[in-house]
Structure 1
Amino acid sequence: TVNLCADLEFPAYLLGLETAQLAKKLTSRVLDSKWGARSESIEVQQNVEQANYIRDAWAKALYTRIFDRLVDIINNAMQTTVVELNVGILDIYGFEIFQRNGFEQFCINYVNEKLQQIFIELTLKAEQEEYVQEGIQWKAIDYFNNKIVCDLIESKVPPGVFSVLDDICATMHATGEGVDVQLCQKLSHQVGNHPHFQLSGGTGFAVHHYAGKVTYDANGMCEKNRDVLFPDVVLVMQSSSNAFIKSLFPENVTGTVKGRPTTAGSKIKSQANKLVEALMKCTPHYIRCIKPNETKKAHDWEEDRVKHQVEYLGLKENVRVRRAGFAYRRVFDKFLHRYAVLTKETFPQWRGNIKEGILHILNSVGMDKDQYQLGKTKVFIKAPESLFLLEEMRERRYDQHARVIQKAFKKYFARQQYLKQKQKAADILQGRKERRHHSLNRNFVGDYIGLDHHPELRVLVGKRERVEFAETVLKYDRRFKPVKRDLILTPKSLFLIGREKIKKGNDKGKIKEVIKRKIDLENISQVTTSTRQDDFLVLQVRNEYDTFIESVFKTEFLFMLDKKVREKCQRPLNLQFSDKMEYRVKKEGIFGGGSTKQVHVTQGHSNEAVLKVTAGVLNISIGPGLPKNSRPSERSASSGPRPVKVSTSRTQQQPSGNKLKEHNGRGRTVTTAASARTPNAALAAVIGARAGAGAGNAMRHAPNLPRTSHSQHKRVSTEENGPSDYMRPPEAGVSGEKRKNSRKARPVPGGGKPKPPSRPKPAVPTCKALYAYEPQDTDELAVGEGDIIEILKEDPSGWWLGRLRGKEGLFPANYVERI
């Protein structure tokens, strides 16, 4: 009986039951019996121990069914009607071996034993059976199959441990006193002779699991195994006024005769078998977790514990089977489809026997015959390194194909960009300036200096600064004297770089590069050029002096300058065209003032400009070019300019001081007013004009490199109607005949001596790296400590050009020492 019914009021309220109804089912149960065709129900009162069993089973049933309902709700919410592949993660406790092991450890170890059996079936046993089915020659590996342990625990015929435990629980009545001893006695009778079972004392037994021997305490096992949820309890819950509680008990228990109530052990066994059935439908991948200590601290390693886990987790057998077997296997058609790209015979399609195609692929990569075998339907590869070889060669082949595609696309894209650039550049000069024959259809290169070979220039500009255009130009001073300057255009500024001789210090007398002028793009107010085909430009700078230059690649320079000004200043370049130009020159000294110089461009007869200074004015005469409305062709030029190939030693040619005649490197002549009045100077001007005309025609075929005047002067013959008699050479005579005969019989070179060996090539200077250096740019070398580097060029800037492992690049000089 229940002494305090008030204690049941709140639980009854939560369950939607009457208090008396709840008290009755806790203290009594309905026993159904059948005699022949008659059945009878008898209400039996329970003692305190039996009432506790009913209470515990009732609470466990509520908890279990609510938990299952939550799982169902979550699964239904995540369920989708789309057919898809699923990846599931099963996280479960490993084998538990404590100082005292009870019913809970027995159930957990049983589930782990079942999972270990799947592991054996799917890895060790299945792999060896696959080799036999495919006819593969290999050495069999012995392993322990734990099916005998699983049968000891779950078997029904002959009865296993769970079956014996359920029988003992079914015979328990009013009291459970002595049932644990009875369990051990019955286990000894039923499974005592099993090789993996042994008794341990009066109330204990041991099972030899796959993980090792585990001793279990039988005290309390029968009590924990009982799950006495009688049918009349289910009927009471189905009469609840709470719809949710009522839905937790949907089973039909209204039959005339009820079966034996389920136990915790039978439920564990049923759920384990369902889990195994679900896993066998999947492709499991195992992650074995090893517990290195019991302290849960880092760097605490118990070697014996780790070795034991490695052994009972089956890792040793798995490794042995993998070593004796093959690491990779694939059906013929999938293997051929994946690696057909390795040979031209199998790609894109192999039309012969599939095995012959696979053998052809394996032989083409040079794989040893002991590294693979062909079965009936699959190819087996032994070592992972052999598989890595196939994968690496496959990636290389796809990389080659990708490079071909990239090359074709980049070539097409670059061609389109060239065409667009030429058209945009033509728009700048359209209708306002005559064009040169050789420059109308040429491609744009950008770097005509070769900055990759000149780190000293990159240091001045800034190694991180992008160079949009680079060219060696002629810059004219206040006396119209030309001097070479390296013009470099970046997204922010325009640089004019020259050379100076060091006057003091250890490097006295050496030539170094210096920035002669830096002009920010926003300060360029105007650029002026003539309407003729000449190459002269005036860069007018806001609030400063101007710069007068001559640029062979003026069209490309103006195009890039206009583009960068638009990007930086959000305005177009102010470009003016006039045959009469003025530019301001730099002040001389402290008290000197800046003056203005004038340049007049007139029409001449030569394709190359002829410069003449008269009364402080520079007169430039040049022949007519292509019409102002000329445009480049729609297709790219067949032979455009190539990037300038600059030697590693860069010398500066300084112009002479007061020479009357100076060659500017483009086949034209600059004369002063005094020299122009002399007959010799006039004759030199005519010869220079003719040479310029010849150079202009030659430039059509190679517009990228300007011709020099030394190779363009035509020979002027002094003879008109043939030489006079007194100018002819004398007759040879007898001596001439002897000389002629002596030339026919030539002696053996060197008097018959063997040819001396050729002189050995001079050794390349080398240096040793003192420190490691990680490259910061693509043109730098990755240097490790102790590397031996060949020195190709030493530069005063501190960045040397060298060669390491066949690769050329820059490296810091203070990181190495010369050998």
Structure 2
Amino acid sequence: MAFHWQSNVNVKQVGVDDMVLLSRLSEDSITDNLKKRFNANSIFTYIGPVLISVNPFKQMPYFTEKEMELYQGATQYENPPHIYALADNMFRNMLIERESQCVIISGESGAGKTVAAKYIMNYISRISGGGSAVQHVKDVILQSNPLLEAFGNSATIRNWNSSRFGKYVEIVFSMGGQPIGGKLSNFLLEKSRVVSQNKGDRNFHIFYQLLAGAEQNLRTNLGVGQLSYYNYLNQSGVTQAEDTDDAKEFHNTLHAMQVVGIDDEGQLDILRLVSAVLHIGNIMFREDGNYAAIETDDFLEFPAFLLGLKSTDIKEKLTTRRMESKWGNQTETINMQMNVEQANYTRDAWVKAIYSRLFDFLVRSVNEAMQVKSKEASLSIGILDIYGFEIFDHNGFEQFCINYVNEKLQQIFIELTLKAEQEEYVKEGIKWQEIEYFNNKIVCELIEEKKPPGIMSLLDDTCAQNHGTSEGVDRQLLSTLSKAVAAHPHFAGGADSFVIRHYAGNVSYNIDGFCDRNRDVLYPDLIQLMQKSTNQFARSLFPDQVQQGKRPTTASTKIRTQANELVASLMKCTPHYVRCIKPNETKGPAIGMKNEFAIRAGYAFRRPFEKFLWRYAILTEQTWPNYRGDPRQGCELFLLEEVRERKYDGFARKIQKAWRRHHAQRHHAKMKEEASDLMYGKKERRRFSLNRNFVGDYIGLEYHPALQVLAGKRERIDFATTVTKYDRRFKTSKLDLILTAKAITLVGREKVAKGPQKGQLVEIVKRQIPLEKIQSIGLSPYQDDFLILQVREDFTSLLETPFKTEFLTTLSKRYKDRTANGTLLLDFKSEHTITLKKTRFGGGHRVVSFQLLAGGSPKAVLTPNGKKLTVSIGAGEPNTTRPRMNRPEGGYQRQSQGRRSTKKAPTRPQQPHMGLSSHSQPQQNNYGVAEYEAEPRRLGGSAPPITPSHGNGISGAAMGGIATPLAGLNLNGQQTNVVRPAPRPNKPKPPVKPKLHPVVTALYAYDAQDTDELSFEVGAEIELLKKHESGWWQGKIGSQQGLFPSNYVQE
């Protein structure tokens, strides 16, 4: 491995990354390897393609952007095991195979499944493509986590953020790999937790978040009190979850609602129901002549207010029940008075219905926010985060359903790995030793089978036979089970419980409450009550059509249907597995991974012949583009994956090159127009700066990472160049100017005074100006290169750069983004006042005055006089001049005609840049002030005409193809009848002594960007033919002649 992320977190690479490579396969060697890696902070380990994750119960340091970049596009064994490697493998396989993928994250409660799912979602969101619409989908997917965790997670004795519901998130992608939507399915919310919790557990997070984070106005409107006031929160003795800030999480939950499209009014409606649930829990009953009566009517007022109901209606529905009985064709209605036990049951059923329907509403809101709008073909990645296998001191109906779903997931794992793997050996005729493993299909049949009836079927029958009563039903169910399935090897009965031998261990289920919780019936009276609500949102959660006499769907039937649908969805995808583990209390075996090691030690790579041929056919002419032979024979003509990547890389580069060239031309044309708009009618232009391309980086930032650090961590640099800075005495110094989306940074260099780096030049930030603090940019109306940066409540910076137009264009865009569509003020005038940093003893203000020098050169002449600097410069192009897309008239005519220019701007030499380089120092005038070279080089503008190389005559090419004057024309171009005789031949002249030209030496290599330019290497000697004021010189090497930038050579 070339690079190991563990080296950066002080972690030694210990043990074996992939446990199929263990030399000795035993429980001790497996445990020892996991223990070694865990102690070295290596929580991930492979078993072939399966990822083992050991919960470290602390935040690990290797989940940053750096790790995301490291694993993106890398093969599994290039880097150490990581959840990002599995996520990247899923994403790439989806695009390569054109098949949907899924990951099944399994393990007991508290093993880290939810955190693993979050990391996978974050990684896929990071590496997939994006635009504004795609980013919205990503935001909804990511923000669905804190939203649903608030309403669906709880603190238990084993896990402070335990998922009390299951979810399957499908992220839908376009065929190009961009997220275009998604779907979220939820399973079996543990709604009984709303009304009762085990000792040491909490209720759902949202209740504690509301009480801790609600502002005073909201608390008053919702009647929010102290936690001890609510019966539904003060039962378990636990109020605070470890390492949890409920107030902060409350605001995160509100933000998540906003992202998924729930506005402020919708959020208030949701919180009303949350508060109503707590207030309903305080309604208590007393016995009044064997019937239930409200203990204190005052407790009815706030639920009625929050739900938009009448307190009298609530009182009636909680103490009486309307029943219908049929006698032939006649229906008789009876109002039955309930006892205290029935009233308590009705109250709790009402609360559970409100909360579960509220949770379903949140799931629908998430699905609507990321609904797939495109009808084109798509792919998907599914992430299953479902409650783990549970074994508590008291296990009830909820644990029965949870463990059933985990058995179904284990069955998928067995079918697609353990069983399928060995069946493949048989199919391929491979010699192998059969490996024994426990197939939990027999346990699944015990629970869900219909013929012979399993536990769920017997439970539904018992509930149907005793639909009108609760007393004694659970005992009847236990008796039925003891008779029907007593002989099953994975079942054992008891006095008040029964035991199922699951794949993860034996679990004893207490029979009390099984039938009531399986019925999951909400009386029609309560549905009708909610349909009378004046609260539209509360009313919309109960759209049910009340149908008397219809047998309701039980909870076990719902979960069985959902589990089978989930299995069907997962079986359509290519599965990946994450097995989350944590040390258990007894240190005993539980998750059954040993057999998996032996299975996974088989052939490392396998793929059907048809798929193999489809993927690698492009590598040979024999199989590409059409192959109609036997796939098995076609697969004998193959090369490596790397060869295929090279082939596609070549194709991609050609496409990218053509597109980038086209895009760059359009982009540069647009930038030139925008730059011209800034100066149009206000400032004279330099001839050679009008049509040059914008480069952005004139320093070579890739060779100077220190400059990136000084500009700001992870800040994108939009423009960088070296500028001349003038101090209060108008003395000059060189600084690097760096423009980001937030600030302008001026970087200088100073010698280290002491320490191990004494005498060395180091980069330091001389000044950093936040964009929002820029008051204006001062410029003159002439063609000079001066910039006056006026900063609010701070001193002025006087700078000079030939790339002022590009700088101002980029700065104006970033200023607009930073200041919410603000406009950068450009102040064009011939005199500017400068505020100095120093205010006393020679400080205060300075004046810079600009004047037009008649007949002057484009070089600025600087005349300092005390506190005033006069800048004199010749006239430039008119201030109404616009850039032209083609070369100006009079420019050099290329030899190749009819070819569109694709010239790119030559950039400043990057590798040799050292900031204050000697060759770029300006010359000093008599006043000690620099005369800055206005145009050190030509950047995409007009090239000066090349001097003819043979005598003083004009070549035919230079005259547009007319080689000699036509006979019969006078000097004025008029035709004459005089035919001139041919002149007599002159005596041969002596050979002309060749003219000696000065020779310059190349400091840096230069690659010609156009046909009229000259390429050379470092150290090449170039015959200098002519110097041009633009900064581009004309030279010759051997027979090659052309233009080159003057700052690449030394005279």
**Same fold, TM-score > 0.5, yes or no:** no
Q: TM-score, normalised by structure 2?
A: 0.35
Q: TM-score, normalised by structure 1?
A: 0.43
Taking CA–CA contacts closer than 8 Å with sequence separation of 6 or more, which of the two structures ends up with the larger relative contact order? 2
